[in-house]
Amino acid sequence: MYNTMDNIVNLLQDNNSDCNFTINIKNGKYCESNYLETSENKIYYNFLFCILDNFDILLSNSTDKKVDLAKRVIDICTQIEVKDDKYSNFNYNKKFSIRKIQQSLQGSLRNEKLISSIYYLNDLYKTHFVIVDLNKKEYYETSFKNYSKKYLYCNDKKFYLSDNLDNGYLQKEETIIFDNDISKNIYISYLKALGNYKIDELKKICDELNLSYCVNNKVMKKKDIYDMINLYQLCL
């Protein structure tokens, strides 16, 4: 069953077709064997390596990935501090700080499964990594942005990527595979705090943005209109 946020996303899609929604790193288990080949997928034992091996050009072309994985993570953590297109341009709020991301990537390299790493990798590689729980037959969407989706299938120990979501999986608002170490609201909001607005003011903003604030011929609740405006601006 979809919640209010899902309804807002669907409403935004109707309004806007373009809007879908230096560190010391210790070696982890990847140093022994981090993946195996199958006839259908490459299965990994570390989700961070799974994503980087498929999306990071330098690592994917490496001839010694056991060594270069840690080097690439160090490089990424360093670039976050000096390159705007690795952090500042993503418009993160204060909670999703540079230090937070660096610590998360470091922990994920050691086989910790931190959702904050996924949130950052979504923006870094302009891809929506949807977490798919093989055990519970559930999936969790990790981004509101208009990125192409890649499905990260996983259980407690193994990970692989797919372009498709298998039939029969149910959408959930949280995943138990990953540690929810930060709220999904990692971006600076377009609007001020909700208390600064009356509902008529929010409706006026919707009119200016050409957004509908009605669902089934009924005016949405103030909080839902507020969330919709912020979500719309995030997707631009």
Give the pLDDT of residue 11: 62
Distance (Å, whole) CA 76 – CA 96 = 16
Give the pLDDT of residue 4: 61
Domains belonging to the chain, first-starting first, are 1-21+189-236 (no CATH), 38-171 (3.90.70)
Residue 224: φ, ψ to 5°: -70, -35
Q: Which helix or strand (DSSP H or E) is residue 202 part of?
A: helix 199-209
Average pLDDT per block of 10 residues along the chain, 236 residues long: 58 52 40 50 94 96 93 97 96 97 97 97 98 97 95 94 96 94 95 96 97 96 96 89
Give the start-end residues of each E strand in the chain. Answer: 35-37, 42-44, 127-133, 138-140, 148-154, 159-162, 170-171, 214-215, 218-219
Give the pLDDT of residue 31: 38
- Which pTM value belongs to this model? 0.82
Residue type, 190: Y
Closest by CA to 129, choosing from 103, 101, 156, 148, is: 148
Give the pLDDT of residue 235: 86
Give the pLDDT of residue 40: 60
Contacts with 86 (C-beta within 8 Å, 6 or more apart), sequence order = 76, 79, 80, 124
Rg (CA), the chain: 19
Distances (CA, A) of 35 to 46, 66, 76, 79, 188: 8, 11, 22, 27, 37
